[in-house]
Amino acid sequence: MYALNHQPLVSFKSSLAGGRRSTGKFIKVRKAHVPSFGSRPNGLGSVRAVISGGDKAAVEEASTPPVQSKDISGTLKPSSSSPIEVKAVVTIRKKMKEKVSEKIEDQWEFLINGIGQGILIQLVSEEIDPVTNSGKIVESAVRGWLPKPLPSEHSHIIEYAADFTVPSDFGCPGAVRITNLHGKEFYLLEIVIHGFDKGPFFFPANTWIHSQKDSSQSRIIFKNQAYLPSQTPAGIKGLRHEDLLSIRGNGKGRRKPRDRIYDYDVYNELGNPDKSEEIARPVIGGEERPYPRRCRTGRPPSKSDPLTESRIEKPHPVYVPRDETFEEIKQNTFSRGRLKALLHNLLPSLAAKLSSSDIPFQCFSDIDKLYNDGLLPKDDDEQKESVLFSGNMMKQVLNVGGQWLKYEIPAIIKRDRFAWLRDNEFARQALAGVNPVNIEILKEFPILSKLDPAVYGPPESAITEELIEQELGGMSVEKAIEDKRLFILDYHDIFLPFIEKMNSLPGRKAYASRTVFFYTKTGFLRPLAIELSLPPTPSSPQKKHVYTHGHHATTHWIWKLAKAHVCSNDAGIHQLVNHWLRTHACMEPYIIATHRQLSSMHPIYKLLHPHMRYTLEINALSRQSLINGGGIIEASFSPGKYAMEVSSAAYKSMWRFDLEALPADLIRRGMAVEDASEPCGVKLVIEDYPYAADGLLVWSAIKEWVESYVEHFYSEPNSVTSDVELQDWWNEIKNKGHADKRNEPWWPILNTKEDLSGILTIIIWTASGQHAAINFGQYPFGSYVPNRPALMRKHIPQEDDPDYEKFLQNPQQTFLSSLATKLQATKVMAVQDTLSTHSPDEEYLGQVNPLHTHWINDHEILELFKRLSSRLEEIEKIINRKNKDSHFKNRSGAGIPPYELLIPSSGPGVTGRGIPNSISI
């Protein structure tokens, strides 16, 4: 047997040069070349190997086993009773950067493997052993020695081998059992079996193999052949069921970091009543506050509240199944982001503590300095002294973090620093900004609330027909509605029930808002009126204010404040509903159910697998630091401690699985109409709607890929209804993952391949295109505070207010003091920077990681995937052409940033483009 440092990616550089996107490290299947292991088991030519023979091991050249006669199925044909020699090549990934102690441990592992005491492997045949009534089994141990390291960028990937003596009637291998006898886990990339015809056979793993001392269960790895449950070969049918049972667990006990158990729980870990009553939070999930389920950790309840799970605080990790954790490159990228955020917030935090209050921006140049000079302006010695108080350690930190204290200039002001002031830019961002999914057509007048009038007052909006017609230049409201020219951003009903509580929080002043837009004949969207409402009181049953642009200086500044309040509401709904709820939180049950109910050899599992990467881990980190009680979201956005209750209310009143399909969502909002002649069956009401236009291109590519994939595996009548794993998967998503919505009538049925294709397209779109469109623009659009304030600290001054005279004397100061403080703003900016960053190991839609090219053994499917990749290339070119076409005013023109959020490819960093396969940040 042998071990060697391996260079399995020897041909990847040439492949990358011809791949679809050269910016990343991932390539299309059609261009990927992995060295054939048929005659070169290690990919490097002949290798020295230790061959076991009795009590001695002789070093000799590894050679290809003699050719045996085969039958037409490709398995070994018993020409005689002589046993056959086959070889298993085991590929393991080590850490890229190891400590000295870890390198010493590696030497010990090589020694243990060399004597056959490190890794045991069983080959399991697809054929039944009549004696045991289960798959035929042969067993061997990895034996290896430490060769001279080979210089390679992939020196952290090593190979071992195990030789097997296989009976001539063994049949075709279908599964591998692997047992780790070492004292710690290792990461298994794949196992390749040589010696069979039509081989080698690939067993992709990409999984952590636990130590036997932690669990006596061996791990089961299946061949890369996709099988529906009814097609499973008899010899591995029991293993298929056994593996699924081990993943589901029993729903009891606290999960350990090494576990790979997937189960459900409510959001009962957001608060920490044991630490302080101030950060106690209600359970999210259940009849009172419905919500999707998260991954169960099994931690004990808190001491103060039996309904609240005890907290795990940084730096200790929250449990996610072992294979869901970040890989090394991703972890390093995320850790650098956290350090950068720490440095960004360091000085504002110190300044706030030293002054006993948080410091507002005094002038617009204060904001500009964040990008031009960093947080510590070079020419402001007085500020340096007052903030840093001459601490040597602090000075060293600042010297080390120098460049990191400086923010990149956001895209929204990079081309035109005054763009945010203009009404057409305010409106443009409703179609081409970071939250382009809430604008809807205005279908009727008057605008009515659906809230209980006995509690929230008269349902009619204060935006009247007369007021709108004053802005329409002679057109009637009826005609504008008929011509589909009036649109609305309506955050009235979602916020009004929470406004009183939100405004009771220190430093928070919010309204429920409505904004009406008019689409002009010249192709621009123009805001006409903004309504800002407060809950009625006995003394003031109608607390609704309507603002229009006006031309007087006073009304002009008040209009700016009204727009800022709308942007603040938009930022809150974007973060809590469209981003967190509709992508992150709703994907989690799909992922849990996929692991629990679909075997890794199920074709639908293989289809969905790349769209689940890193999501459970990033969600766990979010529950720990972002959406938790006292976390960054509460500290930085208007709803404050009621943020997750707002999110729950949106889930209860608005979320429907069937309407998460992009065409259905556009029709629901009136932004598109049904049109069978169009590729996706819909025609946009506003042609120049960049999110929708580009999104439909990506949606159609995903849909075509999914439909072809499903057709390939479900060509037989009743094949969908007879697939027991698939039916259990869909039932579990509805009844456990989204248990609070399980009785809704709108859930799609799952009887046909068309039903299945529709469901899968929604899931894949949610994980890829939808998340990309509303996530990676956060820093480009949100990091310039006046453009998109995450919260407002003051109401708009009225004429009878004490501060009204101050507003008239210094409207700029009133505006800036209404925005987030420096500390609040830099917290949001730092998080937005991290969330908008692509990791160097990102995997994009239409690409395959070179280490995962053996994900399926099906030539037709690989050809279909190449077609998806080619289509995405075309879409990228189409989008680039549109961004240069002056006809599309919402994505081109003087100072207008191009709309790139749905361009499929990207390099690492904050790029404002790229569609990852999964919700990985």
The two beta strands, 440-441 and 157-166, are unpaired
Distance, CA of 653 to CA of 514 (rounded, Å): 18
Which residue is catalytic, options 492, 602, 771, 795? 771
Is residue 611 annotated as a catalytic residue, yes or no? no
Please report, as a single letter, which amino acid is at residue 340.
K
The answer to whether the CB of 485 falls within 8 A of the CB of 569 is no
Q: Which of 344, 584, 609, 854 is catalytic?
A: 584
Strands 525-533 and 544-547: antiparallel
What is the distance, to the nearest Å, from the Cα of residue 524 to the centroid of all Cα atoms in its chain? 33
- Write out the DSSP string of 345-391: HHHHHHHHHHTTSPPPP-SHHHHHHHHHT-SS-TT-HHHHHHHHTT-
Q: Is 887 a catalytic residue?
A: no
Per-residue 3-state assignment (H helix, E strand, C coil) for 644-694: HHHHHHHHHHHCCCHHHCHHHHHHHCCCEEECCCCCCCEEECCCCCHHHHH
DSSP 320: -
Look at residue 333 and give its three-state secondary structure.
Answer: helix
Which residue type does 201 have? F
Separation CA 25–CA 11 (nearest Å): 13
The whole-angstrom separation of Cα 806 and Cα 818 is 13
Q: Which of 154, 579, 595, 838 is catalytic?
A: 579
- Structure tokens, 343: 């440095």
- Residue 546 has, within 13 A of its CA and on its CB side, a CA count of 14
Rounded CA gap, 285 and 902, in Å? 32
Three-state secondary-structure class, residue 126: strand
CA distance 176 to 159: 17
**Does residue 584 have an active-site annotation?**
yes
Strands across the sheet containing 119-129? 134-141, 119-129, 173-180, 219-222
Could you give the CA distance from residue 760 to residue 762 in angstroms, rounded to a whole number?
Answer: 5
Catalytic site includes residue 574? no
Please indicate whether residue 775 is annotated as part of the active site.
Answer: yes
Residue 266 carries which side chain, given as an amino acid letter? V
Secondary structure element (H or E) that encloses residue 711, with its range:
helix 690-713
- Going by the DSSP 8-state scheme, the letter that residue 517 receives in this structure is E
Catalytic residue chosen out of the listed positions 775, 787, 849, 883: 775
Q: Residues with catalytic annotation?
A: 579, 584, 771, 775, 921
